[in-house]
């Protein structure tokens, strides 16, 4: 499915900002004016509004990796925050923070290229819908910076925690992770992908600690993830 926008395309980002009430007044008027004339963009805006009502929080461009529960600092009581911070930074945690802070020398190699794998007597499959500039492309293998990618997951029917990861250059991001009623091509959510480096998007059953070393991450994903490799349409 691919539908075109009538004139100057409105980006998904703008539509999302409009939904969140984050557009400045002149910009919002311009977007509304375009929406009045363009059914394609209007459909996009309605889709965003539906999503917002349903389950998804607004998605910033590639939010920070999901922090593991253990790393959540205790409620900040001003008087003993310093002590809490000291207690929190046990050697093991300090070591994992160090890993987090050290730039990764090697790009993270996508662990698996298969968009569908056998799992739990069924299938785990990933399909990405690219939504950008008034165009919608199913099962995309290409993106442009700022595109919104909708993550469709097929998984054996059950309630499962499903996590989406983005591996791009040396970074690993976890834009989506939630409990899903698995089935055929279920929407996990959407996120915005920026940059122009090749990216690999994976979905995995269960939680994933994105702070792991590349080797540990590959072990975590082994046998329970499906991935799609994307190239940038604007990369030089
Ligand atoms: Zn339009």
Which range marks the domain in which residue 25 is found? 12-53
Q: How far is C-alpha 4 from the geometric centre of its chain's CA atoms?
A: 25
What's the CATH code of the domain at 149?
2.60.40
CA 25 to ligand 1 center in whole angstroms: 19
Do 131 and 227 lie in one domain? The reply is yes
Instruction: Give this prediction's pTM.
Output: 0.56
pLDDT of residue 92: 52
pLDDT in tens, the chain (236 residues): 345 666 566 777 788 888 888 888 998 998 999 899 888 888 888 887 877 665 544 444 544 444 444 444 544 444 444 444 444 444 555 555 544 554 444 555 555 568 888 888 889 999 999 988 778 888 899 999 989 999 999 999 999 999 999 988 878 889 999 999 999 989 999 999 998 889 999 999 998 888 888 778 888 888 889 999 999 988 65
Residue 153 is assigned to a structural domain of this protein: yes
Residue 170 is assigned to a structural domain of this protein: yes
Residue 16 is assigned to a structural domain of this protein: yes
Do 25 and 129 lie in one domain? The reply is no
CA 1 to ligand 1 center in whole angstroms: 16
CA 133 to ligand 1 center in whole angstroms: 8
What is the spatial distance between Cα 117 and Cα 120, in angstroms, rounded to a whole number? Answer: 10
CA 10 to ligand 1 center in whole angstroms: 6
Do 49 and 123 lie in one domain? The reply is no
Do 38 and 141 lie in one domain? The reply is no
Residues in the chain: 236
Our count of domains for the chain comes to 2
3-class SS shares of the chain: helix, strand, coil, % to 5: 30, 30, 40
CA 58 to ligand 1 center in whole angstroms: 21
pLDDT of residue 6: 60
The alpha carbons of the chain give a radius of gyration, in whole angstroms, of 20
Q: What burial class does residue 130 get, using C-beta atoms within 10 Å of its C-beta: 0-12 exposed, 13-18 middle, 19+ buried?
A: buried
């Amino acid at each position: 499915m691919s539908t075109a926008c009538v004139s100057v395309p409105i980006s998904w980002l703008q539509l999302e900002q409009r939904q969140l009430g984050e557009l400045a007044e002149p910009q919002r008027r311009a977007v509304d004016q375009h929406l009045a004339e363009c059914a394609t963009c209007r459909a996009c805006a309605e889709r965003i509004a539906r999503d917002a009502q349903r389950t998804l929080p607004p998605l910033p461009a590639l939010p920070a990796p999901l922090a593991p529960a253990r790393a959540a600092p205790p409620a900040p009581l001003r008087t003993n925050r310093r002590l809490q911070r000291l207690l929190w930074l046990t050697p093991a945690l300090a070591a994992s923070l160090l890993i987090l802070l050290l730039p990764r020398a090697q790009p993270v190699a996508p662990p698996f290229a298969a968009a569908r794998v056998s799992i739990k007597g069924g299938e785990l499959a990933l399909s990405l819908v690219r939504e950008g500039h008034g165009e919608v492309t199913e099962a995309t293998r290409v993106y442009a910076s700022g595109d919104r990618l909708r993550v469709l997951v097929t998984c054996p029917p059950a309630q499962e925690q499903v996590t989406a990861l983005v591996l791009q250059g040396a970074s690993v991001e976890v834009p989506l992770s939630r409990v899903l009623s698995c089935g055929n091509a279920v929407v996990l959510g959407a996120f915005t992908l920026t940059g122009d480096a090749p990216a690999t998007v994976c979905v995995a059953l269960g939680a994933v600690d994105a702070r792991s070393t590349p080797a540990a991450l590959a072990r975590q994903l082994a046998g329970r993830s499906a991935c799609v490799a994307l190239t940038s349409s604007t990369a030089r």
